[in-house]
Amino acid sequence: MDIADWRKKIDEIDRKLVELLNQRAAAAQEIGRLKRNTNLPIYEPDRERNVFVQVQRENQGPLSDRDLAQIYERIMDVMRKIQKEEIAPQVKSAAADTELDSEVND
C-alpha cells in the first residue's frame, strides 16, 4: 500500500471512531440521567480504574499502555463533562446571544 492507501484506511478508521465515540457519549448521557435520579456522584474513581485495567488488558499494541491510558483519561474527562451537563444543563444567557464581539471595532 502507498501513503494514499494508508490515509484512506485512516480516514475510514476515523469515521468508525467518531461513530463509536458518539455511542459512548450517548451511553454517558444515559448514565448521567440515572446518576441524577439516584444522586450518585459523577466521578467514580473505582470505575475509572476498572476501565483502565480493561483497556490495557485488551491492548495488543502498537500503543503502549501509558499512551492508551492517556487517551482514555481524555475520553473519560469528556464523558464526565457530558454527565455533568446531563445533571445540571448549561443555561445560555440571552445577553450572550446578542452581545457583540469585544474585538470588533465599528
pLDDT digits (tens, 9 = 90+) for 5-26: 999 999 999 999 999 999 999 9
Per the structure, the count of domains in the chain is 1
**Whole-prediction pTM value?**
0.74
| Residue 75 belongs to a domain | yes
Range(s) of the domain holding residue 67: 3-87
CA distance 99 to 59: 48
Asked whether the predicted pLDDT for residue 3 surpasses 90, the reply is yes
pLDDT band at 55 (very low <50, low <70, confident <90, very high): very high
| Residue 104 belongs to a domain | no
How many other C-beta atoms are found inside a 10 Å radius of the C-beta of residue 49?
Answer: 10
| Residue 101 belongs to a domain | no
| Residue 105 belongs to a domain | no
| Residue 94 belongs to a domain | no
CATH of the domain at 38: 1.20.59.10
Asked whether the predicted pLDDT for residue 87 surpasses 50, the reply is yes
How many other C-beta atoms are found inside a 10 Å radius of the C-beta of residue 83?
Answer: 24
CA distance 26 to 20: 10
In the prediction, which pLDDT does 104 show?
A: 46
Asked whether the predicted pLDDT for residue 62 surpasses 90, the reply is yes
| Residue 18 belongs to a domain | yes
| Residue 21 belongs to a domain | yes
| Residue 51 belongs to a domain | yes
